[in-house]
Structure 1
Amino acid sequence: MLDLLVLGCGPVGAMAGNLAGQAGLTTAVLDRAPGVFDLPRAIHFDAHIMRILQQVGLAREVLPAVRVWKRSTFYGADAEPIRVHDWPSDKPYGWDAHYLFYQPTLEAVLRDGLTRLDDVDVQLGVEAVAVDQLDDHVTVTIRDPGGELSTLSARYLIGADGASSFVRSSAGIRLLDGDFDEPWLVVDLSCAREIGRPDESEMFCDPARPATRVPGPGRHHRWEFMLLPGETPEEMQRPERIRDLLAPWVGMDEVEIIRASVYRFHSLIAETWRRGRVFLAGDAAHQTPPFLGQGLCHGLRDVQNLVGKLAAARAGGPSQQLLDSYEAERRPHVERIIGMAVAAGLEICVLDPAEAKKRDRRLRQAAQSGDLPRTTFQGMPPLTGGLFDGTPGAGEQFPQPSVLDGQGWLGMFDDVVPPQVVVVARGAAVPEIRAVTDQLGIPLVAVGDPGTGHLFTVDQSVSEWFDRHGARFALVRPDRYVHGATDSADAAKAMIRVVCEYFPGSR
């Protein structure tokens, strides 16, 4: 029997397979499509996602095919800026804050990554026709291209099969409507020249027609146009209409249209993400308006969280507590960010000119006072609930500094320290904790003081993190989220033992 079945080999399912294979879980990844979907969909991911790609050894393969995104500007009804997001050049997580990418390229890299893994079997062109749960496993019946039926069994199943998820419907899980639903025309094109600033997106909050321009990597560019009341998808997808919409920026004689389709930007979330041994991830579990570019990011964070806990349960961790914590940690995070995206969408989609002027005035005043409504562009909110300790800093991604040893520079934190429980401590506090970390066999990284025989970092971002949280010790989980932080050596020792119980295979 397999450890894991993953239904869906888009970016979320393929990432689940990569994570599972690296964790030593015997896994089958299934998809009814024989190859990569060749049209662009998601276009943005952030530094946290590049860190997950780094975890599975694929960041360097992805990096040449992305564009670093440095600014997002929102323009008001008068075509003047009402909100500008500039991202700092420092890289506390080891990577640039935001990237723009071409989804078929990312999917191809993730699928190629699966071929490295002996414990992962990929079956494409097969359709799941039934899902059955028993006490100790799940069985999926599949139909191959010739119509033959067969079954696969595993301890757990992840449904990463998209918005119309067969796994979700088979499990009888409903989608709950978040009361946001707006149709937009999405136009992807290829153009030999740069259009606008190459590292800046633009959101035109024009009541005459809200629109967005996003520069993809290489020759790829994207525009999105809101449909106005009375307009139909058929009308908006006509070539002459697309030509007129693009006319302010580019002529049809200098572009190749890759895709022009109307999509509904909506907010939906599954009533539960787990039913027994069946889990949902990505669009199968939640769908968000794209105004913050977090849809794909949600799904990749889902499977990093879930697969790590499946591996921990397989290694002897408390399975019920671990697996219940998946939704307990991820759902509030996703709901909060969907709420931010909906709020941004409601600001953008104002069609009444008088209301648009009021919005512009309010946002400009908020920008001057520093009181702009929060989005993910100001930083990712922490995870809450679940297994986290609840101390200051718990649930945050820990910074990724450069790490050294007594001989000099070794590399980035995630490359030097395996994906396991790790203790990070201010250098002067290392002797207070060293006996416990040695006893449990977990890495110990000193901050600011090389000491003797320790890994250490002198990165200012880590010192600032400790200062901000009033801590000398941080307990970092295998997924690089902080379990808890404290100034007390005794509290740190207690936390170490707790988190090692959760993740026994990581020490």
Structure 2
Amino acid sequence: MDPVIIVGAGPVGLTLALALARQEVPSVVLDEGPGKDEQRLARTAVLREDTAALIGRLTGFPVAETGFRWAGWRSMRRKQVMREITFGEDDPTLLHLPQHVLTAALREAIGAERLVRVAVDSRLDSLEQEPAGVTAHTRGPKGTWWRGSYLVGCDGPRSTVRKLQDIRFPGRTAVERHAVAALRTELPWPGEALLHRTPPWRTSGPPVSEVTARPLADDVWRMDWLLPPGKDLVTPDLLVARVRETLAGWSGGTTPPYELLDTGVHTVHHRLARRWRAGRVFLAGDSAHLLGALGTQGLDEGLRDADNLAWKLALAWHHGPHEALLDSYQVERRAIVAARLRAADQALPLLRGGGLRSAVPGAARGHDALLTDGHLGRGPLGAPGAYADSPLAPPYAESAVEVDTAPGAAIADVWVTAEDGSSVALRDRLGRGALLVLLIAPGTVVWDRKHWVTAGIMPRLAAAVTALPHRAELLVAESYPGAAAHTVLLIRPDGHLVTAFGGVRPADLYEAAEAALGGPRTTAEAPAGKS
């Protein structure tokens, strides 16, 4: 069977290629560039804990060690500290790293992957669909035709794939603009990220309404200044003045030594493609959505697109197309991003408008809390969404029970015992194309596997897992947040909870697994088999 064609060799496209390869699906990545990425310290990515784990799992690269985990967060307004947060094991922080470091790790992993081919200097200029596949043409020094089973556009805001499929991309342009600088210096709060609203200094240019400082490794900081509305140029002199006055304001009036490493202007757009699927063509990442105001990180959402789509494409590639399953990608992911965009668009007038609303007692503190949650991946502006209304949700079952993870949400990471007796993190078993069935069985850790695997409810559960409509892996955990003993959790290949049952219910487990795979196939979708 033909490989999946991935258009675009940014982090989202490369992540998708690796995720497909882990599930034995070949792909061709069409890279319009030379295969190298410009090193820009002013262009960084903020990843949530589970997204960072996804990258580490796919690349084998110690991404958590290369990036920087913030020690804390402080929010200031004028001269007053509004909020301070210290991160720890019970309150994990985000991972902040330069985007070129992330891309380099993905490229290195792909270089050793036999199922991924990267075609450099290959710019897509046309594509055609037929019932059995997709044909794409690229121009460049090695312009040629490519044949694929599916095609995924990960080619950014000006996506050629989206335009060739005539998919509208409505939204708002230049919602916000930020001047950005990466510099090496020492600040009074080492390792802590900072949001400072309406700082009290003004020595040059228009007043600064908001500045953010986010630490990176090696004493490097990314700093962002919210620019006033308009299209005024950010000159080098103005940016240097911003740097000096900001550092002086935070350091008691004297500018500390600093090394300016990189600068730029970050313009935030809010756009959402009308469709994310057109037959055998899909959109992911910036080609499908643009968001980034109030701390929301578009790249993190793009990586979630890739994770969601990979296992569904892999199932279709190995067993023939299942339309309901493939359609669920657009339904699930588009709803999450649309909700985040709505939340940001509703909050922006409150946070940036000022006027009477800003004078209401307590309004400033509430606005700071809202902004902080957005920057830290929490609340309506930042928390990762759950697929609560997914078409893959199982029907109601009386045996279903509640745990601390809601159906459709990403699972918590706990230590589990795998079928081979090894003890691993639950997230390490994701992304292999298999459903996961997790039994909560306190006390098993003190027994040898050969004793408990044949005791109690284990034989019955093992038989039920073997009979499921798709390959599944049986795991055992000592505990799971909010789960009682003998609770059975059914987990999707991308780590989202399908449902939980109180005990072993083979019929209910089978029905939930079938729903998670898109429901029964129709006659027209009979499995085609792997070739």
Say yes or no: TM over 0.5: yes
TM, length-normalised to structure 1: 0.83
Distance 2:345 2:75 in 1: 16
Structure 1: gaps of 5 or more residues: 446-455
Give the letter for the 1:22 counterpart: R
Across the aligned residues of Structure 1 and Structure 2, the Cα RMSD in angstroms comes to: 3.4
2-side partners of 1:239 and 1:498: how far apart? 54
Alignment CA distance shift 1:120-1:337 (3 Å): same
- Within the candidate set 384, 392, 403, 1:387 is matched to 392
Q: Specify the alignment match of 2:336 in structure 1.
A: 333
Q: How many angstroms does 1:437 deviate by? A: 1.3
1:214 corresponding residue in structure 2? 214
State the identity %.
Answer: 23
Identify the match of residue 476 of structure 1 among 491, 495, 509: 491
SS of residue paired to 2:24: coil
The answer to whether the 8 Å contact 2:8/2:30 transfers is yes
The alpha-carbon distance between structure 1 residues 416 and 295, as it changes in their structure 2 partners (threshold 3 A), is: closer
Secondary structure, counterpart of 1:175 in structure 2: coil
Amino acid aligned to 1:184: H
Letter matched to residue 170 of structure 1:
L
Report what 2:465 is aligned to.
Answer: 437
Which residue matches 1:450?
A: none
* AA aligned opposite 2:284: A
Q: Say if 1:388 and 1:483, in contact at 8 Å, map to a contact too.
A: yes
Contiguous gaps of at least 5 residues in structure 2: 200-206, 397-401, 442-455, 521-526
Deviation readout 1:364-422 (Å, 9 max, x if unpaired): 37999xxx999832553312313122765221111221123799862222335755111
Mapped partners of 1:501, 1:373: distance in 2: 33
**Which residue pairs with 1:457 in the alignment?**
477
Structure 2: how far apart are the matches of 1:422 and 1:10?
30
Tell me the equivalent position of 1:310. Answer: 313
In 2, the alpha carbon distance for the partners of 1:337 and 1:72 equals: 22
Q: Is the 8 A contact 1:289 1:342 kept in 2?
A: no
| Equivalent residue, structure 2, for 1:33 | 33
Preserved CA contact (<8 Å) 2:59 2:105: no
Separation in 1, partners of 2:237, 2:302:
29
* 1:404 maps onto 2:421 in alignment: no
Alpha carbons of structure 1 residues 237 and 231: separation in structure 2 relative to 1, 3 Å: farther
Shift of 1:52: 1.2
On the 8 A contact 2:247/2:256 being kept in 1, the answer is no
Distance change (3 Å), C-alpha of 1:497 and 1:137: closer
C-alpha change, 1:491 and 1:356, in structure 2 (3 Å) is same
CA distance in 1: counterparts of 2:13 and 2:478, whole angstroms: 37
Given the superposition, is the C-alpha separation of residues 292 and 243 from structure 1 closer, same or farther in structure 2, using an over 3 Å criterion? Answer: closer
Return the alpha-carbon distance in structure 2 between the equivalents of residues 280 and 257 of structure 1: 37
Rounded Cα–Cα distance in structure 1 between residues aligned with 2:75 and 2:130: 52
1:197 aligns with 2:189: yes
Following the alignment from structure 1 to structure 2, what is the Cα–Cα distance between the partners of residues 500 and 430? Answer: 24
Spell out the pairing of 1:343-382 with structure 2 (5 A cutoff). Answer: 343=346, 345-350=348-353, 352=355, 355-358=357-360, 361-362=362-363, 364=365, 376-378=377-379, 379-382=383-386
CA contact (8 A) 1:185 1:237 kept: no
Please name the residue that 2:44 is paired with. Answer: 42
Structure 1 residues 284 and 373: alpha-carbon distance in aligned structure 2, compared to 1, 3 A threshold = closer
Q: 1:87 to 1:383 in 2, by over 3 A?
A: farther
1:298-334 CA distance string (max 9 Å, x none): 0000011111100011122652111100011111111
CA distance in 1, matches of 2:367, 2:241: 36
Residue in structure 2 matching 1:52, options 33, 51, 54: 54
Structure 2: which amino acid aligns with 1:262? Answer: V
In the alignment, the residues of structure 1 paired with residue 516 and residue 297 of structure 2 have an alpha-carbon distance, to the nearest angstrom, of 29
- Helix, strand or coil for the counterpart of 2:30? strand
Question: Secondary structure, in 3 states, of the residue corresponding to 2:146?
Answer: strand
Cα deviation digits, residues 414-458 of structure 1 (max 9, x gap): 33575511111333754553321134463222xxxxxxxxxx322
Matching of residues 98-109 of structure 1 within 5 Å: 98-109=94-105
> Cα–Cα, structure 1 residues 465 and 194, in superposed 2: closer, same or farther, change >3 Å?
farther
In the alignment, does 2:186 pair up with 1:185?
no
Query: Could you tell which deviates more after superposition, 316-325 or 114-123?
Result: 316-325
Out of 295, 298, 318, the residue aligned to residue 298 of structure 2 is 295
Question: What is the aligned partner in structure 2 of residue 122 from structure 1?
Answer: 118
Give the letter for the 2:483 counterpart: F
Q: How many residues align?
A: 476
In structure 2, the partner of 1:322 is 325
* Equivalence for 2:65: 64
> Aligned residue for 1:494?
511
Shift of 1:213: 1.1
8 Å contact 2:129–2:280 — kept in the other structure?
A: yes
Q: Distance in 2 between matches of 1:345 and 1:20?
A: 38
Per-residue CA distance 1:230-287 (angstroms, 9 max, x = gap): 6612447745444455443588884333332223222111111111211111111111
Distance 1:116 1:282 in 2: 24
